[in-house]
Amino acid sequence: MSTSPSNGKIIDGKIIATALKARVAAEVARLKAEHGLTPGLAVVLVGNDPASEVYVRNKGIATVEAGMNSFEYRLPGTASQDEVLAKVRELNADPAVHGFLVQFPVPDQISQQAVIDAIDPNKDADGLHPLNAGRLASGLPAMVPATPEGCVIMAKLAGGDLSGKHAVVIGRSNLVGKPVAQLLLKENCTVTIAHSRSHDLPGLARQADILVAAVGRPNMVRGDWVKPGAIVIDVGINRVPAPEKGEGKTRLVGDVAFDEAVKVAGAITPVPGGVGLMTVACLMRNTVIAACRQNGIALPKDF
């Protein structure tokens, strides 16, 4: 990517995501012109969680801006698991939909894993189906989860070749921790996966040349957990009370105490304005990848 990815030490998600989305839009234009193919992304929202509403709207806007077909399906918060699975099966069979996802979290009566398991792995825009997770772990072509992909793109732009570097990932979720560890392994990093039960988390974190925080705990990673010069990738999106903004107001913070860590890190992603923006850009890229694979169309090597 030719655009400068950072403003000093701050790795700017806006700049990197904008460049990636432009690249996706250019590829979509080529697919339309040369193959008559318009990739389509569908998003299913169950219920009306306010944050999810925003994310789903942003995904729809980004899809249209990239020149792709956007489909949005809304089910009530009272929908049964069978109703959600019926929608998944409908989308699996819809030829205009090359990729789709169900926005998480889903209401309690629905099993997130049952939903993931029902998605056609070829249309699994989130890359969360066990077949894609297994293919990624086996070093085979896979649909790759968007947030982890975004993390690694940012780390590479900040740090260049990551080969041989020690990456410490805090968090072991299927959505972020495990896949980001696999992607860093693919970059020839030495990877440690740490989590809430790990002994001496600060000591483990201090070993990291690349520190990825994906725990969902506001400001958990302190400045003295960061090795001087390390690349810090903050995946946390935590809404905390912000009385300074007025009663009942909130603000967004990451899993990393930014003001402390920025003094020590070589490069760091902010929240907001960091990894979150890459999630949507990488989802756009995944939709194009899925459409091309389903139609036997080769993508440029650098896509």
Ligand X SMILES: Nc1nc2c(c(=O)[nH]1)N[C@@H](CN(C=O)c1ccc(C(=O)N[C@@H](CCC(=O)O)C(=O)O)cc1)CN2
Provide the minimum distance between the beta carbon of 68 and Mg ion in the complex, in angstroms, as a whole number. 33
DSSP three-state, residue 242: coil
Which of the choices ligand X, Mg ion, none does residue 67 contact, using the CB cut-off of 5 to 8 A by kind? none
206 annotated to a ligand binding site: no
67 annotated to a ligand binding site: no
- For 36, 97, 156, 162, the CA distances from 231, given in Å and listed in that order, are 42, 37, 10, 10
Of positions 63, 103, 219, 287, contacts ligand X by CB under 6 A: 103
Which of the choices Mg ion, ligand X, none does residue 171 contact, using the CB cut-off of 5 to 8 A by kind? Mg ion
Q: Which amino acid is at 105?
A: P
Q: Stretches 87-95, 154-162, 195-203, 270-278: which one binds ligand X (CB under 6 A)?
A: 270-278
Contact flag: residue 55 with ligand X (CB under 6 A): yes
Residue nearest to ligand X (CB): 276
Distance separating alpha carbons of residues 90 and 209, to the nearest angstrom: 45
Contact flag: residue 60 with ligand X (CB under 6 A): no
Contact flag: residue 280 with ligand X (CB under 6 A): yes
Give kind and range of the element (H or E) at residue 31: helix 13-35
- Interface with Mg ion in residues 193-252 (CB under 5 A): 195
Q: Has 59 been annotated as catalytic?
A: yes
Q: Has 126 been annotated as catalytic?
A: yes
Give the count of residues interacting with ligand X (CB under 6 A): 19
Distance separating alpha carbons of residues 50 and 31, to the nearest angstrom: 35
Question: In the chain, what's the furthest Cα-to-Cα distance?
Answer: 55
Provide the minimum distance between the beta carbon of 134 and ligand X in the complex, in angstroms, as a whole number. 19
Distance separating alpha carbons of residues 188 and 134, to the nearest angstrom: 18
153 annotated to a ligand binding site: no
- Print the binding letters for residues 105-134 with ligand X: x by CB under 6 A, - otherwise: ---------------------x--------
DSSP three-state, residue 163: coil
- For 126, 187, 219, 250, 251, the CA distances from 247, given in Å and listed in that order, are 36, 46, 22, 9, 12
- Print the binding letters for residues 138-167 with ligand X: x by CB under 6 A, - otherwise: --------xx--------------------
- Cβ neighbors of 124 (< 8 A, separation 6 or more) are 99, 101, 116, 132, 143, 290
Contact flag: residue 71 with ligand X (CB under 6 A): no
User: Do 282 and 21 meet the contact criterion of CB atoms below 8 Å apart?
Assistant: no
Contact flag: residue 254 with Mg ion (CB under 5 A): no
Distance separating alpha carbons of residues 303 and 292, to the nearest angstrom: 12
Give kind and range of the element (H or E) at residue 84: helix 81-93
Q: Which of 156, 181, 191, 180 is nearest to 267 (CA)?
A: 156
* Nearer to ligand X among residue 39 and residue 254 (C-beta): 254
Contact flag: residue 171 with Mg ion (CB under 5 A): yes
Q: Which residues are annotated as a binding site for NADP(+)?
A: 171-173, 237
Positions touching Mg ion (CB under 5 A) are: 171-172, 195
Catalytic residue positions, numbered:
59, 103, 126
